[in-house]
Amino acid sequence: MTQPFMKPAPKNPVLRTPQLNLPPSARGRVALGLTAAAAEGRFALQVCAECGAVQYPPREACHRCLSPDLPWQPLDGAGELLASTTLAHSNDLYFRERLPWRLGMVRLDAGPSVMVHLHGDAAAQQALPCRVQVQARLDRSGLAVLVACPEKGTPNMADDPLLREMASDPRYRKVLVTDGKSAVGQAVVHALVRAGADLVWVGHAEPWKQLPGPAGSGSAGSGPAGSGLAGLAALPQVSLVPLDVTDERSVSTLAGRIGGKVDIVVNTAELHRGFGIAARRGTDVAKAEMEVNYFGLLRLAQCFGPALKGRAADGATHATAWVNLLSVYALANFPAHGTFSASKAAALSLAQCLRAEMQPAGIRVVNVFPGPIDDEWNQNLPPPKLAPAALASAIVQALRDGVEDIYPGDVAQEWRQRWRHDPKVLERELAAGGL
């Protein structure tokens, strides 16, 4: 049985911080389809459009009929573990540091047999063959690998070292939430504290202006009762820190103070105004949105990124993840919120750059694409709207699942499907006033 993960003892500051060795990351172009699905938490394999044969490993042409038409389709990963073995030696540095390592061979109900990493509780006591559930998970290199878990959940299943390594569970970790004044920021802080975060630094841009509740309080769907910055500050795990993401000095000062201790950054700072182009003269509002949504992310990434990268192998609660609060409007411009959409599209592009730069250090960049949030800036939009608490729960779950991109809420899910189907059709629908 998996032992519950206990809070590690404080580290000896004199000892050298270990460097991270990454697992093997060479993949062909076709095989990246597995990673694309795993990045959103799905298990998908190629299924031949001609004859229906399920393919593994990923390939260019069907193994049965040679058809090149092999779309990726979500599948259930249930199967039978046929054999298992335990590695006691490896020439690969990553595995060498983590021996012994269990591997297995699973015959999927969908057809193919696959090599998997084995969860500690999978077939620990049962005779083979036995039922398992195969998942595609992102490893520290950010690439999909197959993991077989017990068919039924076991106590402390997520605490297995194999799964912990591939996820970014906030438990016992130190987290920076960049803006605690918004309803979303406060909901995120509460969710992180509930998830067992050791310490949550909460940024607030104007420390002299203490608001009693969330910014623009009174809006529907704001944070939990009794929240607000004062409510947050009363929590023993929470520490308020001055942070203005539009001010480089403010960001670098805070990074100098706490940058070497942060394990997870959750960038909730955003500025949202509901204007298109013609509705407002001048560029002041658009510039202000860019200052927070785009340049704010850039400043944070420059100041906090290197420190995170340096601590990617620092003990059991090493630096692990960077979360960006983007918007589904980043995929296609929503003209009623045109300049906001443009700033989020810029932030998405930058977040992709950040992900590419953080990947060699094993730090996961998680992009969050919510639909309209239930706040004052989306007051005129019809429901369904995403409650800040639901968004916060989705963020914590994404960290626990080790995924890269999430689309919380019904609207975001639907946009994602429409965008995937045809971005041009979505653009025209939005231009015609559809949501």
49 forms part of the interface with Zn ion (CB under 5 A) = no
User: Measured from the CB of residue 74, what is the shortest distance to Zn ion in angstroms?
Assistant: 19
104: tokens are 């297995």
- Taking the complex as a whole, the smallest distance from the CB of residue 67 to Zn ion amounts, in Å, to 5
Per-residue contact flags (x/-) with Zn ion for residues 111 to 140, judged by CB under 5 A: ------------------------------
Distance between CA 207 and CA 243 in Å, rounded?
A: 9
Whole-angstrom Cα distance, residue 194 to residue 179? 18
Find the shortest distance in angstroms from Cβ 66 to Zn ion: 7
Q: In the bound complex, what is the minimum distance in angstroms from residue 45's beta carbon to Zn ion?
A: 13
Nearer to Zn ion, 108 or 368 (CB): 108
Choose the stretch contacting Zn ion; rule: CB under 5 A; options: 65-73, 293-301, 328-336, 409-417: 65-73
Q: Does 69 help bind Zn ion (rule: CB under 5 A)?
A: no
Q: Which of 1, 51, 235, 435 binds Zn ion (CB under 5 A)?
A: 51
Sheet of 44-47: strand order equals: 54-55, 44-47, 72-74
Measured CA to CA, the distance from residue 63 to residue 161 in angstroms comes to 36
Determine, following the binding rule CB under 5 A, whether residue 410 of this chain makes contact with Zn ion: no
Minimum gap (Å) between residue 48 Cβ and Zn ion:
3
Give the Cα separation of 262 and 312 in Å (integer).
11
| Contact residue for Zn ion among 62, 105, 145, 300 (CB under 5 A) | 62
Residue 133 near residue 94 (C-beta atoms within 8 A): no
Q: How far is the CB of 55 from Zn ion (least distance, A)?
A: 8
Given the rule CB under 5 A, which of 8-16, 45-53, 106-114, 289-297 is the region that contacts Zn ion?
Answer: 45-53
411: closest CA among 435, 387, 377?
435
> What are the C-alpha distances in Å from 397 to residues 25, 195, 403, 406?
25, 9, 9, 10
- Token pair, residue 160, equals 């297995």
Contact residue for Zn ion among 19, 24, 60, 65 (CB under 5 A): 65
For Zn ion, the binding residue among 19, 25, 67, 283 (CB under 5 A) is: 67
Binding residue for Zn ion (CB under 5 A) from 50, 60, 97, 206?
50
Rounded CA separation 358/162 (Å): 21
Output 59 or 273, the one with its CB closest to Zn ion.
Answer: 59
- Contact call for residues 185 and 373 (beta carbons, < 8 A): no
The answer to whether the CB of 170 falls within 8 A of the CB of 258 is no
Residue 421 Cβ, how far from Zn ion at the closest point, in Å? 24
Residue of 39, 44, 48, 163 that binds Zn ion (CB under 5 A) = 48
Which CB, 33 or 370, lies closer to Zn ion?
33
From the CB of 47, what's the least distance to Zn ion, in Å? 9
Stretch that binds Zn ion, among 1-9, 57-65, 217-225, 311-319 (CB under 5 A): 57-65
Q: What is the closest distance, in whole angstroms, from the C-beta atom of residue 46 to Zn ion in the complex?
A: 10
Piece of 13-21, 46-54, 153-161, 170-178 that binds Zn ion (CB under 5 A): 46-54
Residues numbered 278-337 forming contacts with Zn ion, rule: CB under 5 A: none
Task: State the amino acid at position 360 in one-letter form.
Answer: P
Q: Confirm or reject binding of residue 53 to Zn ion (CB under 5 A).
A: yes
Q: How far apart are CA 159 and CA 367, in angstroms?
A: 24
Residue 61 engages Zn ion in binding (rule: CB under 5 A): no
Q: Which amino acid is at 254?
A: L
Please tell me the number of Cα atoms within 13 Å of 107 on its side-chain side. 7
Q: Site for Zn ion (CB under 5 A): which residue of 64, 194, 257, 420? A: 64
Q: Which residues contact 162 (CB under 8 A, 6 or more apart)?
A: 117, 118, 119, 120, 147
Q: Kindly determine how many residues on this chain lie close enough to bind Zn ion according to the rule CB under 5 A.
A: 8
Q: Which is nearer to Zn ion, 53 or 316 (CB)?
A: 53
Pick from 155, 170, 91, 79: nearest CA to 118: 79
CB of 50 to Zn ion, least distance (A): 5
CA 132 to chain centre: 26
**Dist CA 371 CA 92 (whole Å):** 43
Instruction: Tell me which amino acid residue 88 is.
Output: A
364 contact partners, CB below 8 Å, separation of at least 6: 138, 142, 168, 320, 321, 322, 358, 402, 404
Stretch that binds Zn ion, among 55-63, 253-261, 344-352, 376-384 (CB under 5 A): 55-63
Give me the residues that bind Zn ion (CB under 5 A), please. 48, 50-51, 53, 62, 64-65, 67
